[in-house]
Structures are given as structure tokens and as C-alpha cells.
Amino acid sequence: MPTPETLFLIDGTAQMYRAYHAIRDLTGPDGKSTNAVFGFVTMLRKLINDHRPPLIAAAFDLRGPTFRTEIAADYKANRPPMPDDLSEQVAWVHEACEALGVPVLTHEKFEADDVIGTLTKKALEKNLEVVIVTGDKDFFQLVQPHVQIFNPRDQGRWYDADGVKLKFGVNPNQVVDVLALMGDAVDNVKGVPGIGEKGARELITKFGSLNNLLKHSEDVEKTRYRNALAQHDEDANVSRELVTIRTDVPIPFDQDTLRYQGPIAERCYSLFSSLGFRKLLSDYAPTAAVVEKDYEVVRTESSLSTLVESINNVGRVSIAALTDKQPPMQAELVGLSLSIGSGHARYIPLAHRALDTGSTLSIQAVRALIAKPLTNQKISKIGHDLKHSSLVLGRHNLPVEGITTDTLLINYLLDVTGKHDLGGLALEHLGYNAIELESVVGKGTKALSLADIPIEA
């Protein structure tokens, strides 16, 4: 396992592609694809939570030519272009890395592999341990004492030198020679025609290296291999140059910059909110501004009269009908919540079966006092899912008129495919973690009716 001074280097481009193909049909509030970002962020958060890396960075490819295309103009020519819906997510992936506290590293004319190879070399010079986070077998060539590969796929797989030999069949320092012989059709690395992975392993195992193999190609037993090596020795050498990960990229190594100092909560919250990653928001929610709270349970006609007077003076009220069940045409009205401003809330208990309500109000008394402001169209009614509340209240002879703002409908218009629960909206827009109803009444078959919950619960 990693020591306290371990540098984690993430093969960002490969992990982004993997996330893109692993998750499909995920879009943000604006309808744009977010699958690659979400998958990448999920991987990165898990990596950080599981391994607490002291030092970390993510390397990415840049668009444009590289030194490899200067060696072979048709290098990667067979690869299809990056899909448009992935291309538009690249900037978000980079932003997510930086928001989570992970530096993004790139260099013109070099690939992410070379950036990682160079940082690995420089880290070893500073006596650091290195973990390369990738699923790409090309990185096996970098494994050596103090350098491991971690593939985050499934539950995660670690590869040291023994692991590379077990997985790939040769020692890490022979991997590049096997890759050069077998070639890579996807990257258009020619290799030696007719020699596949198995044959390449056998030849390198026997001759030790590509250089020695080419020097003694006449000693190869299989005629087909012998002739191919004689005819394509130059292709083999060019292929070796193409598959070799460079360790001399002119990129600085700043240990302080690489040191992990945690996420930047404000950036995470802003980015993930804009992308619609609501499940992640609670980890980065800003501290809510301190608001003086004025919460009361209305138990007497005098208190209710005072509340009605305040509603009339302010000219607006937020309402929520609390019921014993969801379907509004069958629900019993258990209580009514009202608010005239930030930090202000009043609760009128109506049908609590608990014995501690202390209320002297009857539904008739409540109806006599509250009905007028509820039907006054000059008093704005605000709420969440007011269709439900107004149906319930209407069935109890408390009709509601003058509805001006329903946050459920507003959110639906902004994001048709998203979730519209009040708790999620409070977290997303206010950074406020609302108490879930299930935490009060329970869930499943053991859930209580709201009418059985003490008011002070």
C-alpha cells in the first residue's frame, strides 16, 4: 500500500473515455451530456476517499500534433475523432479536477502518457513512491521499484513488477519491446506483420530484448517470424519509438503544487450544481447565512389572530399543508405551516393524535380566522407543490386563491427531466440540508402517520 509520500498520477484522458463509455444518456439541466464528467468525478472522489493521496495530479492529452506524428504521420490515423458529446465535456472534466483539488497537467506535442512518465522519473529522483492510475497496459513499461499501477476498474487492481509479469507475460522493462513487435491497429503502430501478442511475448522472452532479437533474427525458429523480422526491422524500431513513454517532457515538478489539500468546496458546489449532480451537493454545500429564527407552534386563537394580522400586513405567505398520506383527495389535514419571511415560521396543529399538542384551536376556529387571507387574491401565496396543498385545504373548506409562486413548477420548467423535491432544491439553491420526512416518521411498513408524531419532534 502507498506510503505517506506517494504521488498518484491519473491517466486523465483514458479515464475520461472509460467514464464516457460506461455511463450513457446522462444530461444536465441544459440538455448537454454530462456522463463522462459524472463518471470521472465518481472515480476521482472514490480514489481520493479510499487512498487519501498525499500528492496527486491528472494528465490529459491536448489536441494537435505530437512528436509521434512527426515520426509517423499516420500515427493514430485510424482512430475516430472524439465524439462531439464527449468533446464538449473535456473542459468540465478539467474544471472538476481542479475543483476537487487535483492539478491538471498537459504539454504541447506530448501525450498524457509522456507527462506521467516524466513526473514518475522526477518523483523517483525525490525518493517518492508513485502510483499510476490507469487501465492502459502501455504503462506497464514504467513499473519498477517504488512505481505501481492501480487500475480503478471494479474494486481496483494493483500491479507491481510481479503483477505485470503475471498479467502480460514479461518483465516491465520488456513490455515496450513486446508492444513494438505486436503493433497496435487502433493507434496505427505497424509492428511486425504476422507477429501478435503471444508471438511477441515468446520472442522477447527468448531473446531478452527487441534489439537483441533483430541482431539475431536469423536464429528465430519459425520461418514466418524470421522472414517478417528481416523485412520489417525498421518498422519494429519505429514502432518501439512510438510506444515508448517519454520521460523527458520539459515540465516542472513542484511538490507543493502536487500536494493534495482537499476540494475547493465553493467551486465544487457551483460546478456540480450547474451540471445537475444533486447527490454530490451536500458534501460541498456552503454554510448557510445565520438567520435569526422565529419559529412557533400556534396553539391559541390569540396567536392565530396575530399571525393573520402579520400576513395581511406583509401581503404574502408561504403555505404547506401537512397530511397523513400523499394522495390529496384521501389525505387528512394534520397541520398547516405558514411563513411570511426568512427565518419566520408558524405551525398550526389540527389533527395530531399525540397528547402533547397543548392546542386549544379547533378546525372551525382556524377556518374562521385563516380562511380570509387564504382566499384574498391580493395576498400572494407561495409554496412547493401548491396543487397538493390547495386540494387538501379545499377539501377541508379552506380554499386557496392568489397563488403566484410554486417552486415545483418553476423547477420543472427549468429542468423537465430532473428531480423536483423541496429538500433537493433547498440544498441546490440555498446550501441548506433540510430534514427528510423519513427521518421523522420512519419508512416502509414501520413508518408512522404524521398525526402520531409529537409536535416538538
pLDDT of 457: 47
pLDDT of 437: 64
Top-confidence range, 22-31, 325-334, 432-441? 22-31
d(CA 59, CA 113): 8
pLDDT at 206 over 80: yes
pLDDT of 334: 87
DSSP 68: H
pLDDT at 299 over 80: yes
pLDDT of 421: 77
Mean pLDDT within 190-199: 94
pLDDT tier at 449, thresholds 50, 70, 90: confident
pLDDT of 400: 93
pLDDT at 432 over 70: no
pLDDT tier at 138, thresholds 50, 70, 90: very high
**This prediction's pTM:** 0.72
* Strand ranges across the sheet with 316-323: 294-297, 344-349, 333-339, 316-323, 380-383, 403-406
What domains are defined for the chain?
6-267 (3.40.50.1010), 288-452 (3.30.420.10)
* Strand ranges across the sheet with 147-151: 104-105, 55-59, 6-11, 129-133, 147-151, 157-159
The DSSP line for 17-64 is HHHHHHS-S-B-TTS-B-HHHHHHHHHHHHHHHHH--SEEEEE---SS
Half-sphere exposure of 336 (CA within 13 A, CB side): 28
pLDDT of 8: 99
Mean pLDDT within 146-159: 92
d(CA 102, CA 216): 48
pLDDT at 455 over 90: no
pLDDT of 4: 56
Show the cell assigned to 419.
428531480
With CA atoms as reference, report the closest residue to 174 among 214, 205, 198. Answer: 205
Centre a 10 Å sphere on the Cβ of residue 450 and count the other Cβ atoms it contains: 21
pLDDT at 3 over 60: no
How far, CA to CA in Å, does 271 sit from each of 21, 146, 267, 419? 22, 36, 6, 18
Give 80-93 pLDDT, tens digit per residue. Answer: 999 999 999 999 99
Give 4-48 pLDDT, tens digit per residue. Answer: 599 999 999 999 999 999 998 899 988 899 999 999 999 999 999
9 DSSP β-pair partners = 57, 132
pLDDT of 13: 98
Mean pLDDT within 233-244: 96
- 368 membership: H or E segment, kind and range: helix 363-375
